[in-house]
Amino acid sequence: MLDISQAYRLLNHGPTVLVTTAHRNQRNIMAAAWNMPLDFDPPKIAIVIDKKTYTRELIEASGSFAINVPCRAQAEMVVRVGASSGRELLGKEADNKFAVFDLPTFAASKIAAPLVTGCVAWLECKLIAEPHIQDTYDLFLAEVVAAHADERVFSDGRWHFEGPNGESYDELRTIHHVAGGNFMAIGEAFKA
């Protein structure tokens, strides 16, 4: 587990993320490109969650959610979970997107929402309820209460997509949605 003082570094470059939620026996996942870090200590983030989403209903009911940072290898899945609603699956035999899209998960440490296997970073978030900005701007604020990352590509407080022995982690690069299913994978790391 990372020190949560590093949590903002997991979002600083603006990746498209997956928001996972759980409430009672329901769990869900959606894609979200509009997210950003908001504060260092305690770490906070902001994310836009549209009124029509089932995710929003589960966030408001549970008071928590996880941000999963997916990688290039998961881009097709990101589009699929962002183009279907968990609400439409209720009552069906496979009643959630994890089952429909065959997405393995593991348990978070401080919240009920599942974390998606194969992502490269995870932020466990507790909602800071601000009904006015939620209703007016679809903007949700949250405190990050735990953070984790794949050490192959995030360690010592920075992202690195080339291994120490020349390994290339291109499939683990974070992805950045432009529009209409067009993404960019994160590029070269450099120090200024």
Ligand X SMILES: Cc1cc2nc3c(=O)[nH]c(=O)nc-3n(C[C@H](O)[C@H](O)[C@H](O)COP(=O)(O)O)c2cc1C
* Integer Cα distance of 86 and 83 in angstroms: 10
Nearest distance in Å: CB 124, ligand X: 18
Report the side by side order of strands in the sheet with 44-48.
Answer: 26-32, 17-23, 64-69, 121-128, 139-149, 44-48, 35-39
Q: One symbol per residue from 59 to 98: x for binding ligand X (CB under 6 A), - otherwise; what is it?
A: -------------------xx--xxxxxx-----------
What residues contact 93, with CB distance under 8 A and at least 6 apart? none
Residue 161 backbone phi and psi in degrees, to 5: -105, 15
Nearest distance in Å: CB 65, ligand X: 11
54 contributes a contact to ligand X by CB under 6 A: yes
Q: One symbol per residue from 23 to 52: x for binding ligand X (CB under 6 A), - otherwise; what is it?
A: -----x-xxxxx-------------xxx--
The residue behind tokens 């097709």 is 76
Contacts to ligand X by CB under 6 A: 16, 28, 30-34, 48-50, 53-55, 78-79, 82-87, 177
